[in-house]
Structure 1
């Protein structure tokens, strides 16, 4: 079965309310960006994958690096395709949604969900509610109560004030109120930075160590991205200095960087992203390397419904993924917003688990009518 065509569709869906993410504090999110890839085979199968940006850079190399890589190739040659995308990534921004589309087509051909083709360890994963904005203690306590009522056992809050000890004080108030009814993790968003009108103060190693000590007293589950993602030695020193689990790696690129992160013992929890950092092929390899070191692998998922679906398949395919991120910060970012491109949103069940889609391929259906309405470019 061969690939006979590959298409690109760039979509920008306006949001009803701006979302003030901590990772880009200068520029509130006003649109849901979807870069959709469609792979078509000679058997008439259509596979889909999607990135979470408006990737004009990917469009710029579509005819020179993407179409020649895929056209005429057997759909099963995912390793070779992934290697070609490594080369393409030197010219464009994160082309891994192309590989996801190939896997979706392959799964439909095999009549199997992707996670079963990759290993099929489990059909559901414990989800944690992952917030994205800074809020007052009162608002966060209200959110925590909502998460508890909906079945969540864990939530992740953001630490992104200029004074990180303000974050410590807020999270301590939430922890005091909810007690042991829900576990709390914290994301510092220090692994990478957008520049702009408001640049949040960066943490150095001493500040990170002191913040860790403060969070140790509160009793959080992990601290995510406390230092720049390429400061391997600093991350290793920090991890040795604290009893907290340290997490990160969402935007490190490809398998060799994760090899070095693991070699330096930078993290307890490795959070490679299927769509942002290497596709299924490389995530499977990184998960295996982490497992060999008795470390946790859990995919980063803050993209959209298609990205979450890909991450769920990866989580269901490996042994060392005990939980998964579920991007959820109502009212401005609930699952109906995140999953706008899907005909049905991906929901967490009352026991706190989320099912891995069990239909062939990614196992989700696209809302083509909405995507077509807000398309700004096709190739």
Structure 2
């Protein structure tokens, strides 16, 4: 047969083909907001002590409020620390109209459409974090339209999960301040305490760990977080010293992308190794699991692009028998982790609480999965006050 007469199978184009026959609804408006949420006190971890970063004094939030032709609403958000908030807002304003008039139920299709619109920026990073705000709003809308909490829409395995606190044990805190903060957390019903390590003087780290270990009740889990500050040899040495202390995990002992090094630590230490919070694409999250680079995956849904890619990363963790303890964002991750079969950890931070009118229920070391439809969140009046820029696309999505 002549090449010119051979038939080529028709292929659907990437990034969301313009096939609208099954459309049941349409996005008519989106409101985007850049919110700068101030923290009560600047915070320092090992990256600050080594001069790599400045103390954290605020969190930049990209909020996305969407409305559909049928009157359904959804609210999602993304975030960045120290830099990039204005860039994420500008990018979101630039691409938002690419999903207007499309069916909001086709979340996977719209995620791909936005991915291809931002492809020149790379597959990950700021582009995916910006997409995460749209994606989360669409999942919120879908669950609200169904009258279900997002956890139930995804297929929840849990009505409550273990929760640990990461907020009061930063490196700028004294031992007495860490103990007091831990006592307050335990008083709130939190079941685990995580402290920062990674100081230039490792002996100081060990003294602080021992002081906290001695202070905490036996039923309270205890974790440490090095924020990527060690090399492989030091991490192995440190891990062997603390292996007898019964830590729930050691977090980010190495560079976030050193999958091989983390895998070696996981094989050679009794203490579980946790990492994954700094990954910025579903590809990296999948590699983390495939390379057995941790015992506990801390992949952050909004850093890898939202709920849609997180579900893929979570399925990969399940397939490789890896536990999960998603990074930060308890208001979102409480829904997503509920759909994981094994017992996850949820990370407690109250930083984002002022953004929303609602609060999570915490007691007896566990956090309850909200029963309100969708994420069960509404932006507060404080969030409106902290808004430094906003843009309506289409008819706007603000109530």
TM over 0.5: yes
**2:377 & 2:361 partners in 1: Cα distance?**
12
1:84-95 map, 5 Å: 84-87=113-116, 88=118, 91=121, 92-93=126-127, 94-95=129-130
Residue pair 1:78, 1:99 contacting (<8 A) in 2 also:
yes
Q: Give the gaps of 5 or more residues in structure 2.
A: 1-24, 392-399
The alignment partner of 1:340 has SS state of helix
Residue pair 1:339, 1:346 contacting (<8 A) in 2 also:
no
Confirm or deny that 1:211 pairs with 2:238.
Answer: yes
**1:176 & 1:289 partners in 2: Cα distance?**
37
Instruction: State the shift of 1:66 in Å.
Output: 3.1
Residue pair 2:240, 2:269 contacting (<8 A) in 1 also:
yes
1:67-86 map, 5 Å: 67-68=97-98, 70-86=99-115
Instruction: State the shift of 1:81 in Å.
Output: 2.0
The alignment partner of 1:52 has SS state of strand
Aligned to 2:332: 310
The alignment partner of 1:220 has SS state of coil
Confirm or deny that 1:42 pairs with 2:69.
Answer: yes
The alignment partner of 2:355 has SS state of coil
Pick from 191, 197, 220 the counterpart of residue 159 of structure 1: 197
Residue pair 1:13, 1:33 contacting (<8 A) in 2 also:
yes
Aligned to 1:341: 355
- The verdict on how the C-alpha distance between 1:246 and 1:16 changes in structure 2, with shifts beyond 3 A counting, is closer
Moved more, 172-181 or 222-231: 172-181
**2:96 & 2:383 partners in 1: Cα distance?**
22
Q: How high is the TM-score relative to the length of structure 1?
A: 0.86
Residues 163-202 of structure 1 show CA distances to partners (whole Å, capped at 9, x for unaligned) of: 2332122011111232514120111111xxxxxxxxxxx3
Residue pair 1:287, 1:320 contacting (<8 A) in 2 also:
no
1:1-379 map, 5 Å: 1-24=25-48, 26-53=53-80, 55-68=85-98, 70-87=99-116, 88=118, 91=121, 92-93=126-127, 94-95=129-130, 96-131=132-167, 133-134=170-171, 135-190=173-228, 202-301=229-328, 307-327=329-349, 335=350, 337-349=351-363, 351-367=364-380, 369-379=381-391
> How well do the aligned residues superpose, as a CA RMSD in angstroms?
2.0
**1:172 & 1:83 partners in 2: Cα distance?**
48
- The verdict on how the C-alpha distance between 1:276 and 1:119 changes in structure 2, with shifts beyond 3 A counting, is same
**1:14 & 1:300 partners in 2: Cα distance?**
20
Q: How high is the TM-score relative to the length of structure 2?
A: 0.82
**2:340 & 2:386 partners in 1: Cα distance?**
36
